[in-house]
């Protein structure tokens, strides 16, 4: 259970997380079409009154031999256009997304002041919505989804001038940056982009970390975006295996974040307890 | 754009080529909040994009007291995409202003030349080239999927 394991993980009073997404990927449900997205909305509309249609995200599978996951290409012959539907709650902080091969539960900041509800709560919400969706599939005579990947994404926004001052002081944020005072030919970097990939110890998945400057969509402010994505294959499609895999991914994200960022930022800016 | 890592998040589609601007408000990431990656951009591009997103964030319905809509998703995407695609560093910083109805106008001035680009909520982009205060065209209507960004800014840079 996520709650039991939580006590051992680093915790923060003000984590820089801007959005989290918990994704369950499965084999495409045959004949799941546009009518079913609408039928499902009718069931959840009271709680999720906003609806948006989007292009599906590609199917992504971790490959044992390569840190770059396989993306199933979008070039395919389809009889009807594929869609991804967003079901958004009243606050617009929570939404879930459905497409023919994925179920994704998101929490995001909208005005920037919302407290992060914490993983155990989001996990419970995902579990409840996933169960409802599986029940719906059963009621419409669809087979139970064959889950092939679980994915946990944390997008963190590290604001400038809070504990560090520009990319010459990246060592104050990112722990692996060594020897900050060393005299070098190169001047201070203007900006930095970085991607790192870590294999899970049991080889069932990976943690991907990316770092890049972005302009935040919700307020036009430039920040350093640190995205952690943990993705791996569950042992089976049953709920216990699926949620165990998600919990494992989340553990890698939390411990990875604590390793990757500096203790001074964790304590002074993000309120590590 | 990081699709390999995140498998999907809300950002826009890849342009068909450097010369063409393909405007889509269809993000391909699992995360839903939008942010624009600015690692390789210069100062004017970052400031212009920041301004567009600030208007998108700040302006609610009736922001101009004339019942204008907020800046639409498409307008935000189109304006951001165009700025991203300008292949020159030596372009002056544009003035970015919201326009009635929920659009965005960007204005560049260099020497005797001015360039005004309007991103309209009806998904059209209009370009006005001005020399010594006199418009060269009557608002060159363009489709949203085919815009020669390089040639437009070459004209401005030739001032």
Contacts of residue A228, defined as CB under 8 A and 6 or more positions apart, other chains included, come to A153, A154, A156, A207, A208, A209, A253, A256, A257
Query: What does the pLDDT read at residue B10?
Result: 40
Query: What does the pLDDT read at residue B143?
Result: 43
* Residue B26 sits at the chain A interface (C-beta within 8 Å): yes
Residue of chain B nearest A222, judged by CA positions: B50
Q: CA A2, CA B116: separation in Å to the nearest integer?
A: 55
Q: Residue B25 pLDDT > 50, yes or no?
A: no
Average pLDDT over residues A71-75: 53
- Kindly report the backbone phi and psi dihedral angles of residue B88, in degrees, each rounded to the nearest multiple of 5, phi listed first: -120, 140
Residue of chain B nearest A210, judged by CA positions: B5
Q: Residue A62 pLDDT > 60, yes or no?
A: yes
pLDDT in tens, A137-191: 999 999 999 999 999 999 999 999 899 988 888 889 988 876 666 677 888 788 8
Q: CA B52, CA B71: separation in Å to the nearest integer?
A: 9
Q: CA A245, CA A126: separation in Å to the nearest integer?
A: 13
Q: Which pTM was predicted? A: 0.81
Which of A22, A25, A57, A212 would you mutate first to test chain B, the one with the most B CBs within 10 A? A57
- Residue B130, helix vs strand vs coil: strand
Which of A25, A95, A215, A228 would you mutate first to test chain B, the one with the most B CBs within 10 A? A215
Residue of chain A nearest B12, judged by CA positions: A55
pLDDT in tens, A204-221: 999 999 999 999 988 889
Per the model's pLDDT, the better-predicted residue between B4 and B38 turns out to be B38
Q: What beta strand segments (E) does chain B contain? A: 35-37, 95-99, 103-110, 113-119, 125-131, 134-135, 140-142
User: Are the beta carbons of A241 and A234 closer than 8 angstroms?
Assistant: yes
Average pLDDT over residues B26-41: 79
Query: What does the pLDDT read at residue B147?
Result: 55
Residue of chain A nearest B43, judged by CA positions: A190
pLDDT in tens, A13-31: 999 999 999 999 999 999 9
Asked if A218 and B34 come within 8 Å (Cβ–Cβ), the reply is yes
Asked if B4 and A193 come within 8 Å (Cβ–Cβ), the reply is no
Asked if B7 and A60 come within 8 Å (Cβ–Cβ), the reply is yes
The mean pLDDT value of chain B amounts to 78
Asked if A214 and B57 come within 8 Å (Cβ–Cβ), the reply is no
Which of B1, B8, B50 would you mutate first to test chain A, the one with the most A CBs within 10 A? B8
Q: CA B96, CA B116: separation in Å to the nearest integer?
A: 10
Q: How many CA atoms lie within 13 A of B114 on its CB side?
A: 14
**Of B4, B29, B34, Cβ closest to residue A71:** B4
Res. B139 pLDDT band, cuts 50 70 90: low
High-pLDDT (> 70) share of chain A, %: 91
Average pLDDT over residues B88-106: 92
Q: CA B73, CA A53: separation in Å to the nearest integer?
A: 13
The mean pLDDT value of chain A amounts to 90
Query: What does the pLDDT read at residue A185?
Result: 82
High-pLDDT (> 90) share of chain A, %: 71
């Amino acid at each position: 259970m996520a709650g039991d394991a939580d006590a051992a993980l680093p915790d923060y009073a003000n984590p820089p997380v801007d959005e989290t997404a918990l994704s369950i990927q499965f084999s495409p449900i045959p004949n799941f079409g546009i009518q079913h997205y609408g039928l499902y909305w009718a069931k959840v509309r009271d709680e999720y009154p906003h609806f948006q249609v989007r292009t599906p995200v590609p199917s992504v599978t971790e490959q044992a031999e390569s840190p770059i996951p396989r993306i199933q290409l979008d070039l395919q012959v389809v009889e009807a256009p594929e869609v991804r539907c967003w079901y958004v709650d009243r606050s617009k902080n929570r939404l879930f997304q459905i497409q023919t091969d994925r179920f994704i539960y998101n929490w995001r900041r909208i005005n920037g002041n919302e407290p992060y509800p914490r993983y155990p709560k989001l996990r419970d919400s995902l579990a409840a919505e996933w169960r409802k969706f599986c029940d719906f599939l059963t009621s419409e005579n669809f087979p139970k989804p064959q889950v092939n990947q679980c994915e946990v994404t944390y997008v963190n926004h590290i604001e400038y001038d809070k504990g560090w001052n520009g990319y010459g002081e990246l060592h104050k944020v990112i722990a692996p940056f060594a020897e900050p005072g060393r005299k070098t030919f190169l001047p201070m970097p203007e900006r930095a982009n970085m991607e790192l990939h870590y294999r899970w110890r049991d080889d069932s998945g990976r943690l991907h970390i990316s770092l890049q400057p972005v302009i935040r969509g919700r307020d036009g402010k430039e920040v350093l975006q640190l995205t952690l994505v943990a993705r791996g294959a569950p042992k089976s499609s049953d709920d216990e295996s699926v949620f165990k895999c998600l919990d494992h991914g989340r553990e890698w994200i939390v411990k990875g974040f604590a390793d990757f960022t500096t203790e001074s930022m964790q304590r002074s800016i993000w309120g590590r307890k | 754009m990081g699709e390999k890592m995140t498998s999907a998040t809300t950002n826009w589609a890849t342009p068909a080529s450097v010369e063409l601007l393909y405007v889509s408000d269809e993000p391909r990431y699992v995360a839903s909040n939008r942010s624009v990656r600015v690692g390789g951009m210069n100062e004017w591009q970052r400031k212009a994009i920041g301004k567009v997103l600030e208007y998108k964030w700040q302006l609610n319905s009736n922001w101009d007291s004339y019942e204008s809509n907020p800046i639409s998703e498409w307008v935000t995407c189109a304006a951001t995409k165009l700025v991203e695609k300008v292949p020159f560093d030596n372009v002056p910083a544009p003035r970015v202003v919201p326009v009635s109805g929920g659009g965005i106008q960007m204005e560049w001035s260099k020497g005797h030349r001015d360039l005004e680009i309007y991103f309209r909520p009806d998904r059209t982009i209009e370009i006005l080239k001005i020399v010594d205060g006199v418009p060269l065209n009557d608002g060159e209507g363009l489709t949203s999927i085919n815009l020669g960004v390089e040639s437009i800014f070459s004209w401005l840079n030739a001032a």
